[in-house]
């Protein structure tokens, strides 16, 4: 900023998993709206654009080569224009809960986090619950020993509970209580808040109340263990996916029959 004060209007916070969890600061130039005259008045920005162009031309990836002559473009195209929920792609296996939260423009998310647009407290409450964590631990991948979240494997397959309007409002109120408990410790990073050795009792109580309410959406009786939660979710998934699997069987048989005819 000392070298190029005019760049202030185009610098945005750039948030990946480490920035989101550990409060690290990183910035990115968003030059989509910059005019030629504005760019001409920023020699350091022009030099950065030139370096990006040269770097991309050396790439072997087609998607990078396609935008090599457009250094103001990103490979990551999801740039939210409204508040959004952030789900880190990787999270420590020591954490009892996946630290998710809200961010808002002008923040630009990197490809190291998942973005959930138009999310509500209902979504936040379910995704940060013990039920969803049980699913993640069983279904999600691993990076070394850390949890690796996946949209296709974890989010899209998760059996969401049914809830009426009153139950949804209850979950939303308890989800807000989790956010309020976090706010009692300003300056604390999500990594510190969800370190099991450091987690404050106010936040732990808020999560426990949310867990009980989410559990009751799945069945009246409490779950005695995470294994019970996982078994219940697998049974739900099997029932919910049965119609789709049944519909796929005739098409699979036709393909098998056609392949058999071709072999003759």
Together in a domain, 169 and 61: no
How would you classify the pairing of strands 113-117 and 84-88? antiparallel
Rounded to the nearest 5°, which phi and psi values hold at 131? -65, -45
End-to-end CA distance of the chain: 72
Domain assignment of residue 261, yes or no:
no
Domain assignment of residue 199, yes or no:
yes
Do the beta carbons of residue 39 and residue 45 sit within 8 Å?
yes
Together in a domain, 188 and 128: yes
pLDDT computed for residue 264 by the predictor = 45
Together in a domain, 108 and 222: yes
Its pTM stands at 0.86
Question: Domain boundary at 37, 66, 95, which?
Answer: 66
pLDDT computed for residue 263 by the predictor = 47
Together in a domain, 22 and 93: no
Q: How far is CA 256 from each of CA 246, 251, 252, 260, rounded to the nearest angstrom?
A: 16, 9, 6, 6
Is residue 97 very low, low, confident or very high in pLDDT (cuts 50, 70, 90)?
very high
Distance CA 2, CA 77 (A): 29
Is the pLDDT confidence value at 197 over 90? yes
Domain assignment of residue 227, yes or no:
yes
Domain residues for 165? 84-240
Together in a domain, 28 and 104: no
Together in a domain, 57 and 107: no
Together in a domain, 149 and 228: yes
Domain assignment of residue 262, yes or no:
no
Mean pLDDT of 63-69: 94
Print burial letters for 43-60: b (CB count within 10 Å at least 16), e (below 16): eebeebbeebeeebeeee
Across the chain, mean pLDDT equals: 92
What digits encode the pLDDT tens for the residues 132-191? Answer: 999 999 999 988 889 999 999 999 999 999 999 999 999 999 999 999 999 999 999 999
Together in a domain, 220 and 96: yes
Domain assignment of residue 77, yes or no:
no
Together in a domain, 231 and 203: yes
Domain assignment of residue 72, yes or no:
no
Domain count, the chain: 2
pLDDT computed for residue 213 by the predictor = 98
| Whole-number percent of the chain with pLDDT over 90 | 87
More confident call, 249 vs 14: 14
Together in a domain, 137 and 25: no
Together in a domain, 107 and 220: yes
Is residue 46 very low, low, confident or very high in pLDDT (cuts 50, 70, 90)?
very high
Domain assignment of residue 57, yes or no:
yes
Domain assignment of residue 263, yes or no:
no
Together in a domain, 120 and 226: yes
């Amino acid at each position: 900023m000392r070298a190029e004060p005019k760049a202030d209007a185009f610098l945005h916070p750039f948030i990946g998993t480490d920035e989101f969890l550990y409060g690290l600061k990183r910035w990115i130039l968003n030059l989509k709206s910059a005019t030629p005259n504005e760019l001409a008045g920023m020699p350091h920005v022009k030099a950065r654009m030139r370096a990006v162009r040269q770097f991309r031309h050396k790439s072997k990836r087609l998607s990078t080569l396609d935008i090599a002559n457009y250094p103001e473009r990103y490979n990551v195209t999801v740039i939210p224009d409204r508040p959004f929920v952030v789900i880190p792609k990787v999270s420590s296996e020591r954490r009892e809960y996946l630290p998710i939260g809200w961010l808002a423009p002008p923040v630009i998310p990197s490809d190291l986090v998942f973005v959930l647009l138009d999310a509500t407290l209902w979504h936040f409450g379910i995704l940060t619950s013990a039920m969803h964590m049980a699913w993640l631990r069983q279904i999600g991948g691993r990076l070394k020993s850390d949890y690796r979240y996946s949209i296709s494997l974890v989010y899209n397959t998760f059996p969401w509970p049914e809830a009426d309007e009153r139950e949804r409002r209850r979950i939303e109120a308890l989800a807000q209580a989790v956010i309020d408990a976090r706010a009692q410790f300003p300056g604390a990073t999500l990594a510190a808040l969800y370190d099991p050795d450091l987690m404050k009792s106010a936040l732990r109580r808020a999560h426990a109340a949310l867990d009980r309410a989410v559990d009751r959406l799945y069945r009246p009786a409490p779950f005695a263990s995470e294994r019970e939660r996982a078994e219940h979710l697998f049974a739900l998934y099997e029932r919910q996916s049965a119609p789709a699997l049944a519909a796929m069987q005739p098409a699979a048989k036709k393909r098998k029959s056609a392949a058999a005819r071709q072999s003759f």
